[in-house]
Amino acid sequence: MPKNYHFIVSENNTHQRLDLYLSRQTDLNLSRSRIQELIKQDEVKVNRKTVKANYSVRIHDQVDLILPDPVPLTVQAEEIPLEIVFEDEHLLVLNKPPGLVVHPGAGNREHTLVNALLAHCRNLSGIGGVLRPGIVHRLDKDTSGLMIVAKNDDAHQELTRLLAARKICRQYLAIVAGNFTRSGGTIDIPIGRHVHQRQKMSTKTGHGKEAVTHYTVREQFRATSLLLVKLDTGRTHQIRVHLSHIGHPVLGDMAYGRWGKLSLYAENKTKHEIALTRQMLHAAKLDFLHPIDGRPLSFEAPLPEDMRQLLEALRIDVCKER
Across residues 185-194, what is the average pLDDT? 93
Q: Residue 25: pLDDT band by 50, 70, 90 thresholds?
A: confident
Question: pLDDT tens-digit profile of 269-314?
Answer: 788 888 999 999 999 999 999 999 999 999 999 999 999 999 999 9
Quote the pLDDT of residue 17.
94
What single DSSP character describes residue 168? S
Q: Is 207 exposed, middle or buried (0-12, 13-18, 19+ CB in 10 A)?
A: exposed
Q: Which residues are catalytic?
A: 140
Supply the pLDDT for residue 128: 66
Q: What is the pLDDT of residue 131?
A: 63
pLDDT at 33: 80
Q: What is the predicted pLDDT for the residue at 51?
A: 93
Mean pLDDT of the chain: 90
Please report the domains of the chain, with CATH numbers, ordered by start residue: 3-67 (3.10.290.10), 84-164 (3.30.2350.10), 169-321 (3.30.2350.10)
pTM above 0.85, yes or no: no
Instruction: Specify the range with the lowest mean pLDDT, choosing from 111-120, 174-183, 199-208, 282-291.
Output: 199-208
Q: Is the pLDDT of residue 212 over 90?
A: yes
Helices (H) and strands (E) in the chain, counts: 6, 17
Examine the pLDDT at 73 and tell me if it is beyond 60: no
Beta bridge partners, 176, equal 225, 250
Full DSSP string of 55-111:
-B--TT-EEEEEEPPPPPP-PPP------EEEE-SSEEEEEEPTT--SS-BTTBSSS
pLDDT tens-place string over residues 216-241: 999 999 999 999 999 999 899 999 99
Q: What pLDDT score was predicted for residue 31? A: 77
pLDDT of residue 130: 63
